[in-house]
Amino acid sequence: MASRKQSSTSESSDTVLIQIVDAALVEAARKSGEWLVCRPGCTQCCVGVFAINQLDVARLQRGMTELDSEDPERAARVRERARGSVERLRAAFPGDPVTGLLDDGEDAQEAFAEFGNEETCPALDPATGTCDLYAARPMTCRVFGPPVRTEGGLGACELCYHGASDEQIASCEMDADPCDLESALVAELERDGKRGNTIVAWTLGEPKG
């Protein structure tokens, strides 16, 4: 019972986080105007694996549960693509290939930088060029496109902001999570569950139930 209540609280808090991030994206898109060219069918950001945290995992799993109910055939196709991705990536996986958890540390990060760069996300429907789990997508996907500040500086999608000056790009910066709510929610989830990062394929490749 306590676990179910904790799960419900986590989901509610994640909903708040998504609202904050999506509002920040709307504002960044408003400031960016025609410089931001992200659109359905543009899939460059869907190629190449990236690390996701346990909050992303929980959100994706909820999304898969909903897709199982709404469109089981589409859900089955997502799982089939995910399992195929796992099989292709398993031999070089920089972590535990059973759990899908990535190793930590500098050497592991270097290995991950060269890992799966040509692998398409299994959530992407190749027929439509759109995400089958768009509403449940990881945070990395939600903030990709507009200028976002990281440890390496201010970065934006290379397909966007053509013709804009550095100052103009900076004026469109997206402050997605100013209170760092995501970190607090991840820490809460990891206290009583799996700890560490994984990738989308290992999250979606498990059978339902």
pLDDT along the chain (209 residues), means of 10: 56 94 96 95 94 97 97 97 97 95 91 95 96 97 94 91 96 95 94 91 78
Assigned domain for 36 exists: no
Assigned domain for 37 exists: no
Helix, strand, or coil (residue 2): helix
**120, 46 contact by CB (below 8 A):** yes
**67, 133 contact by CB (below 8 A):** yes
Assigned domain for 125 exists: yes
In the block, residue with structure tokens 């060269």: 114
Assigned domain for 141 exists: yes
Q: What are phi and psi of 95, to 5 degrees?
A: 175, -150
Give CA torsion, residues 199, 76, 78, 63, to 10 deg: -70
Assigned domain for 190 exists: yes
| CA distances (Å), origin 42, targets 32, 39, 102, 199 | 18, 6, 28, 21
Helix, strand, or coil (residue 198): strand
Q: What percent of the chain has pLDDT over 90?
A: 84
pTM: 0.91
Assigned domain for 84 exists: yes
Question: What pLDDT score was predicted for residue 47?
Answer: 96
Structural element, H or E, at residue 50: none
Assigned domain for 209 exists: no
Question: What pLDDT score was predicted for residue 1?
Answer: 41
Residue type, 195: R
As for how many domains the chain has, the answer is 1
Contacts of 111 (CB under 8 A, 6+ apart): 94, 103
Reading the block at residue 28, the tokens are 């960044």
pLDDT tens digits for range 50-63: 999 999 999 999 99
Assigned domain for 25 exists: yes
Helices 2-32 and 54-70 meet at what angle, rounded to 10?
Answer: 90
How many angstroms separate the CA atoms of 183 and 161, rounded? 29
How many angstroms separate the CA atoms of 148 and 144, rounded? 8
**Structural domain range at position 159:** 2-30+43-204
